[in-house]
Amino acid sequence: MQNTKETRGGNQRGGNMTRGAGPRGGRPDDSTPKISITQSLKRLSVYTKKSTGLIILTAIAVLIGTLVTVLTPKVLGNTTTIIFDGVRRATGIDFTQLRLTLLILLGLYLLTFLTSFLQQRFMTVITQDITRRLRRDLKAKLNRLPIDYFDQHQNGELMSIATNDVDNIVSGLQRSLTSIISSIISAIGVFVMMLTISPLLTLVVCLMIPVMLLVTRLVTPKAQKYNGEYFGSLGQLNTQIEESLQGFTVVKSFNGTQNALAKFEHANQSMVTSGWKAVFISGLTMPMMTLVQNIVYVLIAAIGSLSVVGGTMTLGNMQAFLQYSSQFSSPLLQLAQIWGTLLSMLTSINRIFSVLDADEMDETLGDYPNEPASDAKVSFKHVQFGYDDKLLMPDFNMAVEPGQMTAIVGETGAGKTTVINLLERFYDIKGGALLVNGQDIRNISRHDLRAKMAMVLQETWLFSGTIFDNIKYGNETATDEEVYAAAKAAYADDFIQKLPDGYQTILNENADNISQGQRQLLTIARAFIANPEILILDEATSNVDSRTELIVQQAMERLLKHRTSFVIAHRLSTIYDADRILVMDHGNIVESGTHQELLAQNGTYHQLYTSQFATA
């Protein structure tokens, strides 16, 4: 049974419930809204509120470390001056003052190490907390999104957003946040220190600032474009890998290895092309700034040397200024380098918030007319529905009595699965009314509605874990005895007991360490333990052999007893005993009756029957 309760794993897609139900596996949405870096960082800052204390401590550590770094060249310059003046004077070097200065210098270096360690420690805690909460919100959001969102977005793309984009933001924050703070403080502090030594040389150093702004302005648009293409290609690559692994047997059976490799290579090459362009464009800032820095450094050395010779500047101040000029250019180069990281982060933030901002399922309870006196368990009254503007069901009507088994047959695309999609509220009707126990389902929460139902599908869904846990998934409050009883009722206990670890046998990712028939029996056991009012069977025996089909049918007969049920069937031999068989075509019921009644009508059902059982 697929999970039909949003509180347990969210709104599941129900295996293949949506097949034929509109666009599946479409390309990712390329219309991601673009927002500025300021807006992006503002939205991201919501996830840092719980770490405000640590951020303040990080800022204090950065401030102290930066101030120490700014003071160090000045103290080192004083050391040079003490030695140089002592050599020139007859009295010699003042070793007492020199030792004091060196001790101060050692203390500054130790303080630099300590503040750097604390910065890294605090930032690791902050960024990992952001990672946890971002992924938590993304997972919760995906559980609240409507089915059609997943019809239009590839699984690989969504997985890439939840993993690669979150990691990109966190690693970017880890690298850039402290660097931005220290760079700004360092640039201001160094600028002040340079002014105290030589305003003229300070003016020469400041020539780097307009160059950096110009380069940034030229680089930003292209970098944003290629970053977006890169992460989009990464999502496509994930999708390609996921599809190839899931369909590995089919790929091998149809000799599709080369075709799969060609598709992978195309996606891989697309990612590489956009990736190197993004990195190259973003990286242009650094070499251009380095070139300007070297030119400025030569000018400072030339002008400073003349000042020392002319006696307007001491040798120690000259040495200190050269170090300060390097320190001033270093934060500018860091900011230029960080800019590329910020652009990459911006792309990831846009992609993440495009999911977080997507329209959710409307959980507001409606105020539609109910029919408490209705005797029908399920009623479709003049229901209208379509996946696009075109109506698939212009006027659908059906009433199912309590305990009645209703089979639905018809050609592919006739609307059989759509009936189930509407009953489970995977999609909402566009007109008319759909009632369960006399209540319009739009007046019932999806959780409460799906708690009344269980599904056994053609393609079984079992998660990685023990057989015991997979059965208990249908009812998390069930006791151990109830789990064992459900397995026995589904005729699954016999094969489970023969497994080496019994109920504690671990199923792998696709549960292919047991047979298809055994997987189906486990889903039936899961439906048993859920004890639903309404049971939905979608070709539950079509993928098993004839002998296993008999066992599965016996298990389903037990499950169907005294329950209202809907059975979607292509193999008509499985529905001979149905209380009513509905024949659908283009969203409408064209025939209705028992098996014998429909054969006697010599209509569409008769044609379906003879096409399956006619003998030569």
More confident residue, 478 or 281: 478
| pLDDT, tens digit (0-9, with 9 covering 90-100), for 438-487 | 999 999 988 899 888 888 887 778 888 899 999 999 888 899 999 999 88
- Residue 258's pLDDT band, with cuts at 50, 70 and 90, is confident
Counting every residue, how long is the chain? Answer: 616
Together in a domain, 231 and 307: yes
| Mean pLDDT over the full length of the chain | 79
Last residue of a domain, one of 293, 321, 356: 356
Q: Which residue has the tokens 């303080």?
A: 111
| pLDDT, tens digit (0-9, with 9 covering 90-100), for 530-572 | 888 898 888 766 555 566 667 777 777 777 788 898 988 777 8
CA-based nearest residue to 516, from 477, 433, 459 = 459
CA angle 115, 121, 123 (to 5 degrees): 100
The answer to whether 474 and 4 are in contact (CB under 8 A) is no
Mean per-residue pLDDT, 40-46? 79
What integer pLDDT is reported at residue 547 of this predicted model?
Answer: 66
E strand map for 387-470 = 393-400, 405-410, 431-436, 439-440, 453-457, 465-466
What integer pLDDT is reported at residue 31 of this predicted model?
Answer: 45
Instruction: Pick from 35-49, 249-263, 585-599 the range whose average pLDDT is largest.
Output: 585-599
Q: At what angle do helices 52-88 and 315-356 cross, to 10 degrees?
A: 160
What integer pLDDT is reported at residue 3 of this predicted model?
Answer: 43
Q: Is the pLDDT score of 12 beyond 60?
A: no
CA atoms of 309 and 314, how far apart (whole Å): 9
| pLDDT, tens digit (0-9, with 9 covering 90-100), for 111-165 | 888 988 888 888 888 888 888 888 899 989 988 888 888 878 877 788 888 888 8
Enumerate residues 6+ apart whose C-beta is below 8 A from 388: 22
Together in a domain, 387 and 513: yes
Residue 404's region, left for phi above 0, alpha for psi from -120 to 50, else beta, is beta
Q: Is the pLDDT score of 504 beyond 90?
A: yes
Together in a domain, 463 and 596: yes
More confident residue, 450 or 239: 450
Backbone torsions φ then ψ of 255, nearest 5 degrees: 50, 40
Together in a domain, 306 and 407: no
Domain assignment present for 385: yes
Domain assignment present for 361: no
Amino acid at position 402, single letter: P
Domain assignment present for 17: no
CA-based nearest residue to 385, from 420, 338, 437 = 420
What integer pLDDT is reported at residue 440 of this predicted model?
Answer: 92
Together in a domain, 348 and 437: no
Instruction: Report the relative pairing of strands 564-568 and 405-410 from DSSP bridges.
Output: parallel
| pLDDT, tens digit (0-9, with 9 covering 90-100), for 330-386 | 777 777 667 767 777 887 888 888 888 888 888 888 888 888 878 889 999 999 998
What integer pLDDT is reported at residue 614 of this predicted model?
Answer: 57
Together in a domain, 315 and 382: no
Domain assignment present for 92: yes
What integer pLDDT is reported at residue 246 of this predicted model?
Answer: 67
Instruction: Report the relative pairing of strands 439-440 and 431-436 from DSSP bridges.
Output: antiparallel
Q: If DSSP codes are grouped into helix, strand and coil, which group holds residue 598?
A: helix
Together in a domain, 566 and 449: yes
Structure tokens at 209: 């600032």
Together in a domain, 264 and 393: no
Domain assignment present for 1: no
> How many domains are there within the chain?
2
Enumerate residues 6+ apart whose C-beta is below 8 A from 78: 101, 316
Together in a domain, 299 and 393: no
Together in a domain, 482 and 561: yes
The answer to whether 516 and 543 are in contact (CB under 8 A) is yes
Together in a domain, 264 and 406: no
CA atoms of 181 and 176, how far apart (whole Å): 9
CA atoms of 199 and 18, how far apart (whole Å): 72
What integer pLDDT is reported at residue 543 of this predicted model?
Answer: 56
CA 581 to chain centre: 42
- Residue 392's pLDDT band, with cuts at 50, 70 and 90, is confident
CA atoms of 592 and 600, how far apart (whole Å): 12
DSSP assigned state of 401: -
Together in a domain, 327 and 422: no
Per cent of the chain over pLDDT 70 is: 88
DSSP assigned state of 409: E
What integer pLDDT is reported at residue 434 of this predicted model?
Answer: 93
CA atoms of 537 and 551, how far apart (whole Å): 16
409: domain CATH number is 3.40.50.300
- Residue 90's pLDDT band, with cuts at 50, 70 and 90, is low
Domain assignment present for 205: yes
Q: Is the pLDDT score of 578 beyond 80?
A: yes
Beta-carbon-side half-sphere exposure of residue 525 (alpha carbons within 13 Å):
33
Q: If DSSP codes are grouped into helix, strand and coil, which group holds residue 359?
A: coil
DSSP assigned state of 603: S
Least confident of 241-245, 306-310, 361-365, 368-372: 241-245
What integer pLDDT is reported at residue 197 of this predicted model?
Answer: 81
The domain of 464 spans 378-613
Residue 369's region, left for phi above 0, alpha for psi from -120 to 50, else beta, is beta
Instruction: Pick from 213-222, 286-295, 333-342, 468-477 the range whose average pLDDT is largest.
Output: 468-477
Last residue of a domain, one of 293, 324, 356: 356
Last residue of a domain, one of 323, 356, 389: 356
CA atoms of 133 and 163, how far apart (whole Å): 13
What integer pLDDT is reported at residue 616 of this predicted model?
Answer: 38
The answer to whether 589 and 398 are in contact (CB under 8 A) is yes
- Residue 29's pLDDT band, with cuts at 50, 70 and 90, is very low
204: domain CATH number is 1.20.1560.10
